Structure 1
Amino acid sequence: MRWMWLGLLAPVLLVGSGLLLADHLTPPATGAPSHALPVEDAGTTLDREVAPLVRREQGRTGVLLLSDGLDAFAARATSARKAGRSLDLQYYIWNDDLTGGLLARELYAAAERGVRVRLLLDDLNTRGLDPKWVALDAHPGIEIRLYNPFRNREGVWRLVEMVQRVFSINHRMHNKAWIADGRLAIVGGRNIGEEYFAADPDVNFRDLDLLLFG
């Protein structure tokens, strides 16, 4: 009977300690504020391709639906290759698979060309991937930040932290955005992973993206 009471009491103590120590358990935000770079008329390839369309359409924004997974992947890869100023991205999931690796390579290649790359990732799905993201973030042209990060990166203490921060850890960022040079944006339901781009033979998520340019 005593062990049963201890088993019931342990979660209460964990959550209670989390409430009392919430300010200490949540990692503080670090890094200076970062802002989008100004758009130019002809500074990059995307500027030169999109600006005439904007003038012709009197400032209206162009919109395309991306229902096909392969088209959605190609749009991201192509825009990264054409970017000459900035790539601003935010995602809930970025899988460590073929498509995730290929698009990460595009980010690195863009940074090598002098493009400023910023990536905001939700930390819930980055478990076990710290070495890869740290290596990419080491490039001077790439900045990766985590939304609502865990203080404990691995192991049982990460699970303990999830229990202690039960009321705050569920505040996740489900935004998905891929913005190239401030000219072209891809938003919608797709995260980065094979199942989102029709590249997984067993699983296919029927998501939809909007490609906006202007």
Structure 2
Amino acid sequence: MVWILGLYLLNTVFMLIIAVREVRRPAKALNWLTIGLILPVIGFGLYLSTSNPVRIRRERLTSPHNESDTLPVSFSRSASVIAHALRHLTVHGLRPVRVQILTNGIETYENLIKSIQNAQRTIDLEYYIYRDDQIGRRITDLLIERAKAGVRIRFLRDGWGSRKFPQHQIIRMMNAGIECRTFFPMRFPWVLSNWNYRNHCKNVVIDGKEAFTGGINVGDEYTGLKPNVGFWHDTHLRMVGEATVDLQTVFDAHWNIASPERMKTRIRWNTKAEDTKKPIQGPRHISQNIVPPGRDVLSKWSAKWSTELGTMDGTDVSTVTSTETLQKAYVQTLEGNPGIPTQVIRQAYFICLTQATQTIDITTPYFVPDADIIMAIKTAIARGVRVRLLVPRHVSPKIVGSASRTYYGELLEAGVQIYLYNKGMLHAKLMIIDGEIAEVGAANYDMRSFRLDYEVCEVFYSADVARELTEQFERDLTDSVPLHIEDLRQRSLSQRILDQGARLLSPLL
């Protein structure tokens, strides 16, 4: 009995520590206190390992010269108010840009490979997930070829998302002259302090004048040609112009806090000669190079997915690269940084939601927001704003989908239109406001993107960009089913209990 009393007192002290540390975030404190009651002592250990303040601290990426940045008078009042409100959160203020919207992996990789092939001076890449599969190896080989041609290349991967990227590929890249670093690697001392803070960005900057960013990592699944994954819908961006300097600034900041790759030996691979005598082929179509494992699988799946990806936008896949369209816009670049008190991404979302006057369309694969974001959405409905939320019908991991369902009821009752994407994997992250403002990036509507991850998102001011994204949103609705309040009420008691239990873990999701 004595040890039980001791455990109770110890756990009480631990819960008091949580309550004091999270006094400014009562919802998060309540969640962790509940976890501490269910898992005495263990819950406090989880709290420390996931909520320990990031040790790498730096200033927020902002410019002192952005206060006077204003949109032309031709823009609506909501656009002007949002641009003005976001000015202190941006990397370098408001910039003109030309942007191409990329709505699937094949289109993204073809443009990326073409741009890498044309690089003359520098290539900087940072990815949360960079796989050593057919797409990954093709890009890796191309990077090695460009490095041997004299292009300076810096390669930054996240220590968790890209933990399976093999060391022998890193050695190949470094032997070719590519500088490689890992963001918070899963080794001492990072694993003891910063393991829960991840670099969720997917950014490439080429020659300081062209950049790619958005939701697409490097992996076969993003092409929609991987059989055990199936169709994959995402949104990525290709930007040209001075706005790429902002993404360069973000990359440099992340590069400076990342760890250089360590090699036990400087191996000179026998296959190095093969690398030089087998150059990367020209702009063959990506779908001709991605071959699902096994000939029987290839014959079954390649035609199906080539057709789906080709007809996705009403065009044939063979014409994707020849029909690129660069839209003119103004853009603000935002970086989410857990090393500073301001939750930049969350605050930006809140500003956009509260200043919308006509319409809000949101696409996100993970919807586990906090109370303020929910209130901002409900308040928008009360002002007469039409709000549509598009989320995947099947969420992976399932625990996130369970937690998400607990938010749908009150939103439906408030008047939000919720649609469940039913065609395949939905991974796009975007928000369109009043037909003139569009936010696209890597950040989700969840606590992790708001508080724990290094993120990047772009806020565009352009009726053309908003129109193109809205047209894609409308096409996505044809592949979705509306969610009704009756659908939630028909769920069994056990399912609802599991959903509520998953919501308790929202600080970790």
TM-score exceeds 0.5: yes
Cα separation, 2, equivalents of 1:134 and 1:201? 28
Cα separation, 1, equivalents of 2:118 and 2:104? 21
Give the secondary-structure state (helix, strand or coil) at the position aligned to 1:149.
Answer: coil
Change (3 A) 1:212 1:128: closer
Unaligned runs of 5+ in 1: 29-58, 153-157
Q: Which residue of 1 aligns with 2:210?
A: 184
After TM superposition, give the deviation of residue 130 of structure 1 in Å. 4.1
Query: Over residues 145-191 of structure 1, what are the superposed CA-to-partner deviations in whole Å (9 max), with x where a residue is unaligned?
Result: 11111226xxxxx9xx85x54xx311001011111111211110001
Give the secondary-structure state (helix, strand or coil) at the position aligned to 2:168.
Answer: helix
Q: Which residue of 2 aligns with 1:40?
A: none
Question: Is structure 2 residue 129 aligned with structure 1 residue 127?
Answer: no
- One-letter amino acid matched to 2:131: N
Q: Which has the higher contact order (CA 8 A, sep 6+)?
A: 1
Contact 1:77–1:103 (8 Å) recurs in 2: yes
Cα separation, 1, equivalents of 2:169 and 2:100? 31
Contact 1:184–1:213 (8 Å) recurs in 2: yes
Cα separation, 2, equivalents of 1:66 and 1:94? 19
Contact 2:131–2:218 (8 Å) recurs in 1: yes
- One-letter amino acid matched to 1:210: L
Q: Which residue of 2 aligns with 1:118?
A: 154
Identity among equivalent positions (%) equals 29
- One-letter amino acid matched to 2:240: F
Change (3 A) 1:16 1:174: closer
Q: 2:233 aligns with which of 206, 209, 212?
A: 206
Question: Is structure 2 residue 196 aligned with structure 1 residue 148?
Answer: no
Q: How many residues are treated as equivalent by the alignment?
A: 167
TM-score w.r.t. structure 1 length? 0.64
Change (3 A) 1:120 1:10: same
After TM superposition, give the deviation of residue 202 of structure 1 in Å. 3.4
**1:1-214 residue pairs with structure 2 within 5 A?**
60-139=96-175, 141-151=177-187, 164-165=192-193, 168-203=194-229, 204-214=231-241
- One-letter amino acid matched to 1:201: P
TM-score w.r.t. structure 2 length? 0.29
User: In terms of mean alpha carbon deviation, does 70-79 or 200-209 score higher?
Assistant: 200-209
Query: Over residues 21-77 of structure 1, what are the superposed CA-to-partner deviations in whole Å (9 max), with x where a residue is unaligned?
Result: x99xx9x9xxxxxxxxxxxxxxxxxxxxxxxxxxxxxx9421110113211110111
Change (3 A) 1:127 1:69: closer
Contact 1:87–1:178 (8 Å) recurs in 2: yes
Note the aligned Cα RMSD (angstroms).
Answer: 3.6
Determine which structure has more spread, i.e. the larger CA radius of gyration. 2
Change (3 A) 1:139 1:209: same
Give the secondary-structure state (helix, strand or coil) at the position aligned to 1:124.
Answer: coil
Cα separation, 1, equivalents of 2:216 and 2:44? 39
Change (3 A) 1:138 1:61: same
